[in-house]
Structure 1
Amino acid sequence: MNASSDEPPPSRRSPVLFVGLVFGLGLVVAVLVGALSGSKAVHADRIHQDLALLEEALGRYRADKGTLPEDADVEELLVPAYLPSVPLDPWGRPYRYTSNGEEVFLSTFGKSGDRGGSGEEQDHTNHDGHAVPKGAPERM
């Protein structure tokens, strides 16, 4: 008997190989998508922890001073009396601050720094309805 007669004909090997390749590719894509979406969730959690921390410190500032300035450099307001340092957003930029004297509005415009977008480009504010992560200070 010939050694080559023990191998299955090519027509039987091809579908198995094809299914294996498709399955492997699907698995790689699923892992990559999961890793990328997990990174976005980590950024959102960090942003909202930072916003809650800033909001809490600004609440203490308002309790001491009686009001909040409409526009100001948050670092000048809070460091060192209320915070040792002011956190930056995940892309290294300061959070934006405005106030009407009573309410605080804090925001970041995402990775691009431009208003609007989705994913890492998404805007985040202390009033956008995101849950404050566990361990973050209570909102004002």
Structure 2
Amino acid sequence: MRNLTTKTTSKEVLRSHCPVNYGVEIFGDRWSLLIIRDIVFIGKKTYGEFLKSEEGIATNILASRLALLEEQGILSKAPSPTDKRKDFYTLTEKGRDLIPILLNIILWSARHDAKSYALPDKDFFVRLRQNPVQVSDEVKELVRNGGCVFPESQE
């Protein structure tokens, strides 16, 4: 049986309690995953940095996705330590638990799209293919400590 999504205050009731549906409803749109990607791989932290992503997210969509990800406990927001006018977004533990999914998307894309090898570090990809669990654990720890996979790739 399937329930239709209904609005309640600022949250939505899930259409169903299928685990695939839950994931799709929370982080399944491309913008949410690209925001998470930018945090993990490039180290973006601010609204302005996310806005500069090459995919060209609209300002209203970005604001909406950041709010949703924060509301769902995937991101946390705090004032920048150097500029209180800016907020820094970081992944929570729940958000870091999405890192293995991102890494598996990379592996899947590389297998099915010959143009998907656009990673700045080919050694990273080789290591990922050889030992995805170890690389996933390393990336989670790196992000937990405020780092990112390709810091030299920042715009």
**TM-score (structure 1 length as normaliser):** 0.28
Q: Which has the higher helix share?
A: 2
**TM-score (structure 2 length as normaliser):** 0.27
Greater radius of gyration (CA): 1
